[in-house]
Amino acid sequence: MAANEEHAVSVGAEAKAANAGHGADGPVGPMETFKYDDAIVRKFMGVTVLWALVAFLVGLIVALELIVPVATTYEVAGFRPFAFLAPLSFLVDTKWLTFGRLRPLHTNAAIFAFAGNAIFAAIYYSTQRLCKARMWSDKLSNLHFWGWQLIIVLAALSLPLGLTQGKEYAELIWPIDLLIALVWAGVFGTNYFMTLRVRRERHMYVALWFYAATIITVAMLHVFNSLALPASLTRSYPVYAGVQDAMIQWWYGHNAVAFFLTTPFLGLMYYFMPKAAGRPVYSYRLSIIHFWSLIFIYIWAGPHHLHYTALPAWASTLGMLFSVMLWMPSWGGGINGLLTLRGAWHKLTDDPILKFFVVGVTFYMMSTFEGPMLSIKSVNALSHYTDWTIAHVHAGALGWNGFLAFGMIYWLLPRLYQTPLFSKKLAEWHFWLATLGILLYIIPIYFGGITQGLMWRAFDQTGTLQYPDFVETVMRLMPFYGIRVIGGTLYFLGTILLAYNLVRTWMKRPKVYDEPVYSAPRLLPFADPAAPAFKTRLPDNIGLGKKGDVLVQHITSVWWHRAWEARPAKLAILSFLAVATASALELIPTFLIRSNVPTIASVQPYTPLELGGRDVYISEGCYNCHSQMIRPIWAETKRYGDYSKPGEFVYDRPFQWGSRRLGPDLAREGGLRSNIWHVLHFENPRQTSPQSIMPAYPHLLKDEIVWEEIDRSVLTHAMLGVPYPKEVRDGLSTQLAQTQAKAIADDIVAAGGPAGLENKQVVALIAYLQRLGTDINKPAPAAPAAATPVASTAP
Amino acid sequence: MSTTNQTTTNRSTMAADEIEIPLGPDGKPIDPLTDHEYDGIREYDNPTPGWWWLIFVITIAFSAFYVVFWHASAYGWSIEESWASAQRRDFIRVFGKVGTLEPTEATILESQNNEQFMTIARATFIGNCAACHASDGGGQVGPNLCDDNFKSVRSVEDIYKAITEGAAAGSMPAWNTRLSQNQRVILAAYVATLRGTTPASPKAPEGDVIPPFPKTPPAGATKPEQQRADAR
């Protein structure tokens, strides 16, 4: 190392000489001068830190919500050590702040506000420099900035109000979805690709490929997953139902991880890591193979979120295998990042920026090993619906996304504010606090997840569930959840240090920012370089394989890729083809092959009141804690009843299978408990299950059903092809709903419950819950439908 | 670090902008460089590591093998088949020697002698009934099962009937589609044993006082061959 250091020379003159000697850069025109737009980067960087604070704070709140009901009543020797948390009980009791409404706010803020603005800062800073060009349009840059912040504010307002589409990471209602499509593709995409067009650097660096793939793919995912028919300004129903909705949702959901949290951050890494380390990137050829294999393989992996569900087996297999094959393409980026530090590792000791980058990339490599492992079906059988997934995503989000963003911000601060960083020491403190915070977060949650998974499947010697009471498996998590809050707090404190450092550095900024003027020649159109004339390396006396040998030389010399790098449109189209072809191959069969979803004749559309109840279920975000999917696993059918069949979900728009069980599965909740039980349980779950951590929903007993909304829901579903009889569509739905509501309300009164619930939301929700999973045991209607009965009797 | 000259870009704060090429003892770069340069960033022309290719190819080969084995060969089985065989194994383990249990007073009472049946029935009770009747049977939304008052039960057979068909106009749901007949028989037996126990917080009595249930027959009183078969 020391020897290298002595021999190290600045690249300066040598590099320019090398470039000058290279003729492939093509013809150039007159010199042009330009300035970079750093004001827009400063804006994006500032809001990145602001939204990071919000996202992490909301995360802390939802983490606290899970322990407050239990912790405040926890007693040791007559003493309540956590009684000081009691003032936080309002979090659990306020309808706008319940876990079901705030958890989507946390995930959306972390992904789209924090990580989103971080990648915009990275892209706006590095693209200009890599293209030797200012962003194509300052107007579009600013429209992008303000448009995106508007989206975030609308999200922060609408989610606590219960306005949601009920699909994970795609919760925002349709008008906001339209705005996202407009700002992302129309404004940001146009600005980015036009900047590539007017660039003054002939070839595009690998970071730019990743940015391009990000913009194209996220646009495609967002548009196709959000296709829905509005029922009102704030409600809509997806054009897909049941199994198909699940498939498209996780195609989207998984690739939000791939193309929002991975590819743009890899681009970020490729620019900022060599800059911060002061070393060349390890391997150009590795960057080519891992870029293409990553984007092509990643897009298939979504179904691994749906193992053992009612998804067809072939789709599940595709999801698993492409995840396994994804291991090396993912690691390619990690290797290229870490090996870039060769000869610079000693810099880590006193450079917090490199510390953030190195630990961030290490978390990336851990997560991208763990991801393929979790997607193996038999591993997934244990991990799915448990906190293992939560630990996994936080290792990725806090470790990889967070640390890369923080490293980048510390690197940018002195450059953008044109003054030294206020305090390197605070940055060091931030690093150590955040690292400890991540460990205290993920390690207990790993333990908790695996513990709960094992408890769910534990049998005693008689073949009976060892923990038949679900809440027992939740209570076991409480100590782990407590430690998580400490970890999250440390991570949050670290971010406060960053915010303080940012503000203090900003306060030292010059009165007027220096805007250096750069110059570079304009690029003139040029022809693709001719293919090199390779000769076979095989001796003359070998007759076969000579053409193959030449082909291998062509491929491995990557001259053809070098040519693509000078053609942004070509590269963008090829990237689009890679992700679109893979998507089509996986999605089209799901929609076209009828045997994927065998119909069950007795499964009928929801009644109008049940549909209204379903809207309440979606609005309250019940799917954040309750799944509606019983897997064909013995322990699971023992606990919840017969496993779910694809045909049971044909009227579910959106599907509500969930991804995490903080409460029991509800797929066969119908008829399980009496109506009065549900009323008491919603009023305060502790009335019926003393240890429950579920929020109380007293407002459901007060808020009125809006009958016209139910009417519109029925009409919208009918337009989407749900077979409601004509008289129902023509206005009978309100009357039907009111009759059913009256019957349930009367039953509640007869059982000694409160009167006057016949027009309250709780009745609609109970109607929906009492319907769940019951159709399969009903006799088929008289119509001579060719049913495929797949029901098996309960054990 | 100069902070005085702030009108121009402060180069001194940006030392890391300069990319250095580490040189080997021979004075040449440690690895061959490409001639690419982007905003000062350089790239080595290193090959992709061999172990990277090896693992990548192995994962692809594994995938090919996996698809053929599980989806195109006679050796694979489906998740549903695996579940069905678990169901068969479980039934044989618990009820294999017994066959079908009929919901008669004699069978229900005899089941109370079977320790294994009672363990299973207790788990069934906690998983399905405790939400309304409390885990010790003391009652909550549903009536107390430990006292002598009952609303729709007069005999142990009535317990089976209430479980099977539901009671109290649907407040007590019907369990015939969720629990098998054998499960309902032993559950009725278990519920009958709760009577006379002392729950933690008993609900006030509902319904009428009914005569005591017949006592559990002594083990092996009837059908001794069956009891032997159940013994583990």
3-state secondary structure A175-207: HHHHHHHHHHHHHHHHHHHHHHHCCCCCCCCHH
Cα(A300)–Cα(A124) distance, rounded to whole angstroms? 29
Average pLDDT score over residue span A549-564: 92
Chain B CB contacts of A293 under 8 Å are: 56
Number of neighbours of residue A524 by Cβ within 10 angstroms: 10
> In this structure, what token pair is assigned to residue A515?
């805007």
How far is the alpha carbon of A113 from chain B, nearest alpha carbon, in Å? 28
Check pLDDT > 80 for residue B12. no
Question: Worst-scoring range by mean pLDDT, A199-203, A307-311, B151-155?
Answer: B151-155
pLDDT of residue A65: 94
Secondary structure class of A545 (helix, strand, coil): coil
B118 reaches A (C-beta below 8 A): no
**CB contact (8 A) between residue B87 and residue A276:** no
Q: In this complex, which of B24, B47, B123 lies closest to A285 when CB atoms are compared?
A: B47
Other Cβ atoms closer than 10 A to A685: 20
Q: Do A201 and B38 touch (CB under 8 A)?
A: yes
What is the pLDDT, as a whole number, of residue B24? 85
CB contact under 8 Å between B59 and A508, yes or no, is no
Which of A62-76, A565-579, A719-733, B216-230 is predicted with the least confidence, judged by mean pLDDT?
B216-230
Contacts of B8 in chain A (CB under 8 A): 514, 516
Q: Say which CATH class B105-230 falls into.
A: mainly alpha
- In chain B, residues with a C-beta closer than 8 Å to the C-beta of A775 are none
Question: How far B214 CA sits from the closest chain A CA (Å)?
Answer: 27
pLDDT digit string, tens, across residues A433-451? 999 999 999 999 999 999 9
Q: What is the pTM of this model?
A: 0.89
Mean pLDDT, residues A727-735:
89
How far apart are the CA of A729 and the nearest CA of chain B, in angstroms?
A: 30
Statement: residue A148 has pLDDT above 80: yes
**Do A420 and B10 make contact, defined as CB atoms within 8 angstroms?**
yes
Q: Percentage helix, strand, coil, to 5, in chain B?
A: 45, 10, 45
Identify whether the C-beta of residue A442 lies closer than 8 Å to the C-beta of residue B41.
no
Residues of B with Cβ-Cβ distance to A419 under 8 angstroms: 3, 6, 10, 13
B16 interfacial to chain A (CB closer than 8 Å) = yes
Residue A793: per-residue pLDDT: 39
Residue A548 and residue A569: Cα distance in Å, rounded? 30
Per-residue pLDDT band for B187 (boundaries 50, 70, 90) equals very high
Distance from CA of B156 to the nearest CA of A (A): 22
pLDDT tens column, A410-419: 999 999 999 9
B194/B192 Cα distance (integer angstroms): 5
Average pLDDT score over residue span A259-281: 96
HEC letters along A638-655: HHHCCCCCHHHHCCCCCC
| pLDDT at site B4 | 34
| Phi-psi domain of A214 (left: phi exceeds 0; alpha: psi -120 through 50; beta: other) | alpha
Q: What is the DSSP code (8-state) at residue A729?
A: I
* Minimum distance, in Å, between the CA of residue A39 and any CA atom of chain B: 14
Residue A514: predicted pLDDT: 93
pLDDT band at residue A590 using 50, 70 and 90 as cut-offs: confident
Altogether, the residues listed in chain B come to a count of 232
Residue of A nearest to B172 (CA): A674
| Distance of residue B96 Cα from the nearest chain A Cα, in angstroms | 13
DSSP E strands, chain B: 20-21, 33-38, 41-44, 149-150, 208-209
> Among A101-110, A563-572, B114-123, where is mean pLDDT lowest?
B114-123
CB contact under 8 A, B43 and A283: yes
pLDDT value for B17: 65
* Nearest residue of chain B to residue A748 (CA atoms): B171
Averaged pLDDT for residues A377-384: 96
pLDDT in tens, A468-478: 999 999 999 99
Q: What is the pLDDT of residues B145-175, one digit of tens each?
A: 999 999 889 999 999 999 998 887 777 888 8
**What are A746-766's pLDDT values in tens digits?**
999 998 999 999 999 999 999
B207: left (phi over 0), alpha (psi -120 to 50) or beta: left
Contact A342 B47 (CB under 8 A): no
Residues 6+ apart with CB under 8 A from B79: A308, A313, A632
The distance of A230 to chain B (nearest Cα, Å) reads 37
Mean local confidence (pLDDT), A282-297: 96
Where exactly are the structural domains of chain B?
A: 13-68, 105-230
Structure tokens of A268?
């970020």
Question: Which is more confident, A13 or A162?
Answer: A162
Most confident of A527-531, A606-610, A775-779: A606-610
Q: How far is CA A8 from CA A11, A562, B11, B82, B224, in A?
A: 9, 28, 20, 63, 92
- Residue B212 tokens read as 């005591």
Instruction: Mark yes or no for CB contact B13/A419 under 8 Å.
Output: yes
- The whole-chain average pLDDT of chain A stands at 92
Closest C-alpha to A131, from A509, A711, A522, A423: A522
pLDDT of residue A651: 96
Mutation pick from B19, B181, B201 vs chain A, by most beta carbons of A within 10 Å, is: B19
* A126, two tokens: 């590095």
Q: Lowest-pLDDT range, A368-372, A664-668, B87-91? A: B87-91
Q: What percent of chain B is modeled with pLDDT above 90?
A: 46
Greater pLDDT, B109 or A21: B109
pLDDT at position A447 is 97
CB contact under 8 A, A278 and B63: no
- Chain A interface disruption, residue of B8, B17, B18, B39, most A CBs within 10 A: B39
Confidence of residue A783 (pLDDT cuts 50, 70, 90): low
Closest Cα in chain A to B19: A278
Q: Do A674 and B49 touch (CB under 8 A)?
A: no
Q: What is the mean pLDDT of residues A641-657?
A: 95
Instruction: For residues A290 and A299, give the distance between their C-alpha atoms in angstroms, rounded to a whole number.
Output: 14
Neighbours of A672 (CB within 10 A): 23
User: What integer is the mean pLDDT of A30-42?
Assistant: 96
| Per-residue pLDDT at A13 | 37
Q: What is the CA radius of gyration of chain A?
A: 29
Region of residue A509 (phi > 0: left; psi between -120 and 50: alpha; otherwise: beta) = beta
Partner-chain contact A274 B169, CB within 8 Å = no
How high is the pLDDT of residue A5?
40
d(CA A444, CA B124): 31
Helix (H, G, I), strand (E, B) or coil at A3: helix
**pLDDT at residue A788 above 70?**
no
Q: How confident is the model at residue B13 (pLDDT cuts 50, 70, 90)?
A: very low
User: What are the tens digits of pLDDT across the range B63-118?
Assistant: 999 999 999 999 989 999 999 999 888 888 888 878 888 999 999 999 999 888 99
CB contact under 8 A, B3 and A420: yes
Interface test with A, best of B177, B180, B183, B230 (most A CBs within 10 A): B177
Residues A379-401: b if buried by 16+ CB within 10 A, e if exposed: bbbbbbbbbbbbbbbbbbbbbbb
Own/partner long-range contacts of B105-109 (Cβ < 8 Å, ≥24 apart): B105/B155, B105/B156, B105/B157, B105/B214, B106/B217, B106/B222, B107/B185, B108/B156, B108/B157, B108/B159, B108/B160, B108/B185, B108/B188, B108/B189, B108/B192, B109/B156, B109/B189, B109/B192, B109/B214, B109/B215, B109/B216, B109/B217
pLDDT at A795: 39
Place A78 in a pLDDT band, splitting at 50, 70 and 90: confident
| Partner residue facing A15 (CB), from B42, B62, B116 | B42
Which chain A residue has the Cα nearest residue B143?
Answer: A751
Which domains are seen in chain A, by residue range?
25-507 (1.20.210.10), 532-556 (no CATH), 608-777 (1.10.760.10)
Chain A contact present for B152, CB below 8 A = no
Residue B131: the pLDDT is 84
Q: What is the mean pLDDT of residues A316-329?
A: 97
Q: Which residue in chain A has the smallest CA separation from B51? A: A328
Q: Out of A19, A271, A516, whose CB is closest to B35?
A: A19
The pLDDT score that the predictor gives to residue B219 is 66
Nearest CA in chain B to A468: B127
Q: What is the mean pLDDT of residues A325-343?
A: 95
How many CB atoms sit inside 10 A of residue A62's CB?
22
Per-residue pLDDT, B178: 78
Q: Is the pLDDT of residue A90 over 80?
A: yes
Q: What percent of chain A has pLDDT over 90?
A: 82
For A163-200, how does the pLDDT look when each residue is reduced to its tens digit (9 = 90+)?
999 999 999 999 999 999 999 999 999 999 999 999 99
Q: For residue A300, what are its two tokens?
A: 């298939």
> Looking at A58-62, A371-375, B25-29, which range is the least confident one?
B25-29
> Nearest CA to CA, how far is A633 from chain B (Å)?
6
Question: Are the beta carbons of A607 and A710 closer than 8 angstroms?
Answer: no
Interface list for B 167-226 with A (CB within 8 A): 168-174, 177-180, 183
Per residue in A204-249, pLDDT (tens digit) is: 999 999 999 999 999 999 999 999 999 999 999 999 999 999 999 9
The size of the A-B interface in CB pairs under 8 A is 266
What is the model's pLDDT at position A782? 65
The verdict on a CB contact (< 8 Å) between B70 and A317 is yes
